[in-house]
Amino acid sequence: MSEAILEPELPIIDPHHHLWDLRPLLGGFPEPLHPFLAAIALSPYYTFNELHADATSGHNVIGTVFMECGAFYRAGASDALKVLGEVEYVAGVAAQSASGLYGDTRLCAAIIGHADLTQGSAAGAVLDALMAASPRFKGIRHAAAWDADPEVLGPPFHAPKGLYHDATFREGFAELGKRGLTFDAWLLEPQLGDVLSLARAFPDQPICLDHCGTPLGMGSYHGKLHERFDVWRAMIKDLAACPNVSVKLGGLAMSFAGMPDHGPAAGLSSEVLAAMWRPYIETCIEAFGPSRAMFESNYPVDKWGASYAVLWNAFKRLTHGASADDKRALYAGTAARFYGLEHLLT
């Protein structure tokens, strides 16, 4: 679907996207593909050219943040250090963008990698290596998504139940604070108590909750978004009471949320998507405030429900009545502060 770009001058720092080449992997998953895999199969190759085309499709994207996705790991390295390959690859993409040959947008201006925090304090050495790999490296994500229903997550995800409560994980988590690094948390709505416990145990550690806490609308949760909304909202308010937690406004176009519940590339208008997402986005902004909330594309995963241009149009419809200051925070300022990208705003 093609739409006129709303507020085309509004500066955006997209704080959450991936880069990958999944073509060698997709053939190894059984048919029919889990809806998540069907979504990402839309863009099995999503690297500089594809990202640049989306980021320059009409909205004023001045910079982006790469989010780890297990791609381009270093062959032949140990399990602990293979993650360096991802940061090294993305650092090259960032340098390509920073050359200025492709315009003013600064892709991958910040890089969020991965380190296995279940190594405990030994994870510190991996973090040091990641920091040495690129000055753009800002922190890690260690996903904890788990559900008893195997239809919810499918084969790509194998986080153990209760990961964020694990004592050895928390020993590794403590290494982030020693280095001034950020942490992105991805888990599912029924698990939000896990990240709440983590945030309370480490009140000085900056944590960003990805994807509005990932409301669920698939598998055994299909058709239950409405009845679980109050549970989700209560947890969002509890998390917002932790001043070290921020939230990403997005991820709702993923197949997990079922908003829309059909895809890939559902072709819905930004008006329809905005109406669908409004209760979640407005609850998060009200709870966290614009200074701790940031819109994200989660691309190309959210391609399940919307093109890049339509996705940001939907967000802009949701903030139509917001003040200029609030818009500056929600679309760029909060991301710049959280990920150390203030220089992009000068």
Residue 3 lies in a domain: no
So what's the pLDDT on residue 242?
Answer: 98
Rounded to whole angstroms, the Cα distance separating 346 from 295 reads: 20
Residue 197 lies in a domain: yes
* Lowest-pLDDT range of 2-6, 152-156, 296-300: 152-156
Residue 50 lies in a domain: yes
So what's the pLDDT on residue 304?
Answer: 86
218 band by pLDDT with thresholds 50, 70 and 90 = confident
Residue 2 lies in a domain: no
Q: 205 by DSSP, 3-state: which?
A: coil
264 has pLDDT over 70: no
150 band by pLDDT with thresholds 50, 70 and 90 = confident
45 forms bridges with which residues in the sheet?
Answer: 21
Residue 43 lies in a domain: yes
Rounded to whole angstroms, the Cα distance separating 114 from 295 reads: 22
319 has pLDDT over 80: yes
Q: 69, exposed or middle or buried, with CB in 10 Å at 0-12, 13-18, 19+?
A: buried
Residue 6 lies in a domain: no
Question: Euclidean distance between the first and final Cα of the chain, in Å?
Answer: 34
CATH assignment of the domain containing 269: 3.20.20.140
pTM: 0.96
Residue 185 lies in a domain: yes
Residues near 200 by Cβ (< 8 Å), separated by ≥ 6? 242
Determine the structural domain holding residue 27 and report its residue range: 11-345
154 has pLDDT over 80: no
Residue 66 lies in a domain: yes
Q: Cα 220 to chain center, whole Å?
A: 24
Q: Please give the average per-residue pLDDT across 279-306, as a whole number.
A: 96
Q: Give the chain's domain count.
A: 1
